[in-house]
Amino acid sequence: MNKLTQRIDKERLLLGIAAPLLAVVAAVVVTTLVILATGKNPGAAFSDMLTYGSASDSQVYILNKATTYYLAGVAVAIGFRMNLFNIGVDGQYRIAAFFAAVLGGALTTPGWISIPLIILCAMGTGAVWAGIAGVLKVTRGVSEVISTIMLNSIATAIIAYLLQPGKLAELQAGGTVVSTKPLPSSSHFFQIDTGAAGVLWGFIVIAVLVGIAYWFVLGRTRFGFDLRTVGQSESAAAASGVSVKRMIATSMLISGAVAGLIGMPTLLNDSHQFSNDFPTGIGFTGIAIALLGRNNPVGIALGALLWGFLERTTNHLEFEGYDKEILGVIQGVIVLCVVIAYEVVRRYGLKRQQQRVGAELAAQAAAPTQKQEVA
Amino acid sequence: MRRVAKLSAACIATAALALTATACGSTSSEDDSSSSASAGSGKGGIKIGLAYDVGGRGDRSFNDSAARGADKAEKEFSGSIKELTAKSSDTEADREQRLTDLADAGYNPIVAVGFSYATSVDKVAAKYPKVSFGLIDSVATAKNVDSITFTEEQGSYLAGVAAALKTKKAHVGFIGGVDTPLIKKFAAGYVQGVKDTKPGVKVDVQYLTHGSDLSGFASPDKGKEAASGQLDNGADVIYAAAGSSGNGSIEAVSGVKGAWAIGVDSDQYNIPGLSKYKNSILTSMVKNVDVGVYDFVKSVHDGKPLTGNQIYSLAKGGVGLATSGGFIDDIQPQLDAAKKKIVDGAVKVKTS
């Protein structure tokens, strides 16, 4: 019996890895065809990506990017585990980063007080923004897909209204960039100087902690069990005494709070202010990464690193004379392939299971007769 | 058993990570140094690096104007051009990477097109003190940077004068792409120009999108809708400073008899894609980014790189009104008078 479980687990693991791997391989094939179609040499492109992507400054860049993307992936994955499609991560992190930046610029307290306050403010704002969608779903039955998309636009409008000179922002020298008041240098998050390779953001530590917390809470606590149960079957969860509505509201709040962290590596380690060129669209990247990582804490990390690697290396491909649209093609194909590959692998796994169960049943049917014979 | 499998997966992942993080000590620039040396000796002449804003070459507007200047310099000094383009999801690190890649490969000068490069130019310029950088539409502090800015409000003032003199309904309009400080400069100058000429003329000011939503610079449909709204409201001269959204505005204006459109950045009367509507284009407020880029590249070629803030004002011909089509020939004396007042300092044009 022990041997059997071992075999199943290995198979599960293999099947789990197979889908993303299949997607990446398919993406490589499609990209090769696209580069061939533009009349260039794909082999040279891939080898350039590998050498450039493995240089030490590229590694630092990739880790920094992945820090942001990992938080985005986890924020989305929390919703996914509940069967909630939180598209609003994008608006949540932007509005959270904005208010955190305003607070951070106004604080004059020492860093060990300011930094936690800024982070808490971001998490709080993100949670409130996601909570609106949660409350609407629980009380009025509004689909979170619709409400979070709308809240994204509302967040954009609110930021645009407040991010103006004379309101909560100021005009910078040159007269073209509007930003919040910069954070005092005491409120900058710690970073690791790696010399020529650049500066590694200290926020990567927080991202790792978030990953561990995500794994622990979902996999090792009663709350996480309830959450996954609701995600798999609401009626079953309700029958076993779980308050579905409360779970929906809570998980939206947590998803929003983690979303609030997405803008923090950029704010605390890099820009130190929220300006009209703050990166946008990371919430949607998070959806792709959560899909790629199968909502698994390690998987999301690998997805985030892959995304960072692709951005770094395709930026350089443009420099080498390849078309800059290659990045979009690779990312799009990966996401598409991931969805298809999961379905293919799931069906294959199901078939295998059926065969195995069939074989077991057959063995069981055969076993009693043997016993009888022995007896 | 499951736990062990998961644990080992986690271990492998972290080990792989740690390995890649430590295995390669050299930076990408060290790797590149050999190839860039050979590339540098391969072709003589000046090597111009261009880092575009979102949209890049082919946007018929801002980036294209910079490209024109670089193309002219390339031909004249028999040099070569390398172009990189920004994405909307860019962070500071991406912009720095773009400039660093160019500097590493031996491009000098390097032109950063657009205000979003302000911070990154400062950082990269400090790392490469021997390379000359150009920055358009913003001001940098590093010593080896030429900050190329324009007095859009002065050119827009003249557009306002022209609009006030040409309107028959005493009602004109302004359409801005996004409510950024840069576009507000256009609006402020335009409104002041109208009011100084004919105080009774009403001005509608409208922005297509707000804040970090930059789609207002690239949505002809939004431009068309906004212009139709202003036309229905009674305006008969519409000035659009909205990137390619302005094309939509011009299209809407051309559908109304007697209404005029005022173009922006390039002389839009002469743009092939807009030739259908050119008889409705009164004039264009031309912003000569190409002149700024060309001057800068030439200065580097001559061995005396420009630095500091080069302000391309109305007086220096950095901005002005296009006369193609001859629609403003009849009011040229008034326009010249207004221009003289600005150049002499008798009129100070507001920037916000």
pLDDT value, residue B15: 47
CA atoms within 13 A on the CB side of A213: 13
pLDDT digits (tens, 9 = 90+) for A140-149: 999 999 999 9
Between B2, B90, B101, which is nearest A319 by CB?
B101
What is the distance in angstroms between the Cα of B8 and the nearest Cα belonging to chain A? 11
Q: B182 vs A175: CB contact, 8 Å cut-off?
A: yes
- Collect all residues of chain A within an 8 Å Cβ-Cβ radius of residue B185: 175
Could you count the other beta carbons within 10 Å of the beta carbon of residue A159? 25
b/e burial code for range B299-312 (CB count within 10 A of at least 16 → b) = bbbeeebbbebbeb
Among the partner residues B2, B17, B89, nearest to A9 by beta-carbon distance: B2
Query: Strand A191-193 to strand A199-201: parallel, antiparallel, or no bridges (unpaired)?
Result: antiparallel
**Cα torsion angle, A127, A129, A135, A141, sign:** negative
Mean pLDDT of chain A: 88
The whole-number pLDDT of residue A316 equals: 84
d(C-alpha B103, C-alpha B111), whole Å: 11
ipTM topping 0.85: no
B42-150+288-319 and B152-286+322-344 agree in CATH topology: yes
Among chain B residues, CA nearest to A197: B27
Q: B116, A278: Cβ pair inside 8 Å?
A: no
Please say whether the beta carbons of A316 and A45 come within 8 A: no
Confidence bin at A60 (pLDDT 50/70/90): very high
Contacts of A285 in chain B (CB under 8 A): 89
Inter-chain residue contact B97 with A196, CB threshold 8 Å: no
Q: Are B245 and B222 in contact (CB under 8 A)?
A: yes
At B36 the pLDDT is 39
What is the model's pLDDT at position B32?
45
Region A73-93: mean pLDDT is 93
Answer whether A280 sits within 8 Å of B89, measured CB to CB: yes
* Burial zone of A257 (CB within 10 Å; 0-12 exposed, 13-18 middle, 19+ buried): buried
pLDDT value at A93 more than 80: yes
Please tell me which of A34-38, A51-55, A149-153, A318-322 the model is most confident about, judged by mean pLDDT. Answer: A149-153
User: For chain A, where are the alpha helices, taking DSSP H only?
Assistant: 2-37, 42-53, 56-81, 89-106, 111-140, 144-162, 203-220, 222-232, 234-239, 244-262, 264-266, 282-292, 297-319, 326-374
Question: CATH assignment of B42-150+288-319, given 3.40.50.2300, 3.30.56.10, 3.40.50.300, 3.30.930.10?
Answer: 3.40.50.2300
Q: At the fourth CATH level, which superfamily is domain B152-286+322-344?
A: Response regulator (3.40.50.2300)
Residue B281 pairs with which residues in a beta bridge? B261
CA distance A50 to chain B (A): 11
Structure tokens at B311: 């302000």
More confident residue, B196 or A336: B196
- Flag residues of chain B having pLDDT under 70: 1-44, 88-89
pLDDT bin (cut points 50, 70, 90) of residue A178 is confident
Q: How many CB pairs under 8 A join A and B?
A: 144
Query: A182 to chain B: which residues are within 8 Å by CB?
Result: none
Could you give the CA distance from residue B184 to residue B86 in angstroms, rounded to a whole number? 23
Mutate to test the interface with B, among A9, A90, A284, A319 (most CBs of B within 10 A): A319
Q: Per-residue confidence at A329, pLDDT binned at 50, 70, 90?
A: confident
In the structure, what pLDDT confidence band is assigned to residue A172 with cuts at 50, 70 and 90?
A: confident
Q: Which residues contact A97 (CB under 8 A, 6 or more apart)?
A: A122, A260, A262, A263, A264, A266, A267, A274, A278
Test B21 with A59 for CB contact under 8 angstroms: yes
- Give residue B25's pLDDT: 53
Judged on CB neighbours under 10 Å (0-12, 13-18, 19+), A83 is middle
Select the more confidently predicted residue: A99 or A291: A99
Residue ranges per structural domain of chain B: 42-150+288-319, 152-286+322-344
